[in-house]
Structure 1
Amino acid sequence: MAKINSQYDQDTLVNPKHNPTVAALLSVIPGLGQMYNKRYIKGAVLFILFAAFVIVMIDFITTGLQGLITLGEVPREDDSRVFLSNGVISLIFTVFFLGFYCLNIQDALKDAKRIQLGWKVPNMREGFRNAWDTSFPYLLIAPGLFLLMFVVVFPLLYMVFIAFTNFNLYNAPPREILEWIGFQNFINLFTINEWRNTFVNVLSWTLIWTFVATTLQIALAMFLAVITNHPRLKFKKLIRTVFILPWAVPAFVTIIIFSALFHDTFGAINTQIIIPLFGEGIPWLQNATWTKIALIMIQVWLGFPFIYALFTGVLQGISSDWYEAADIDGASRWQKFRNITFPHLMFATAPLLIMQYSFNFNNFNVIYLFNQGGPAVRGQTAGGSDILISWVFGLTFENQQYNMAAAVSIILGLLVATFAFFQFRRSRSFKEEGTF
Structure 2
Amino acid sequence: MELVLRAGGRAHPLAGALLSAVAWLGIRAVRRRYATVNLGEARGSTPVIGDWLALLGVLAVLLTAIGSTAEPAGPLLGLLVGLLLTVTCRKVTHWHLAAARREAHAVRRVLVIGEPSAADHVVGHLAARTDHAYVVVGVVPVGSAKLECGAPVTARLGSLDPDSPRGDATAVLRAAREHGADLVLVAPGPRLSAERLRRLSWALYDERLPLALLPGLVDVDAHRIHLDAPAGLAMLHIAPPVRRGVQVSLKSAVDRTGAGLGLLLLAPLFGVIAAAIRLTSAGPAFHRQIRHGQGNTPFTMWKFRTMVRDAESRKAELEYSGANENDGLMFKMRRDPRVTGVGRLLRRWSLDELPQLFNVLRGDMSLVGPRPPLADEVARYDEVALRRLSVKPGLTGLWQVSGRSELSWDETLALDLRYVDNWTLSGDMDVMARTMRAVVDGRGAY
Larger radius of gyration, structure 1 or 2? 1
Give the TM-score of the pair, scaled to structure 1: 0.25
TM-score (norm. length: structure 2): 0.25
Q: Which has the higher contact order (CA 8 A, sep 6+)?
A: 1
Whose helix fraction is larger, Structure 1's or Structure 2's?
1
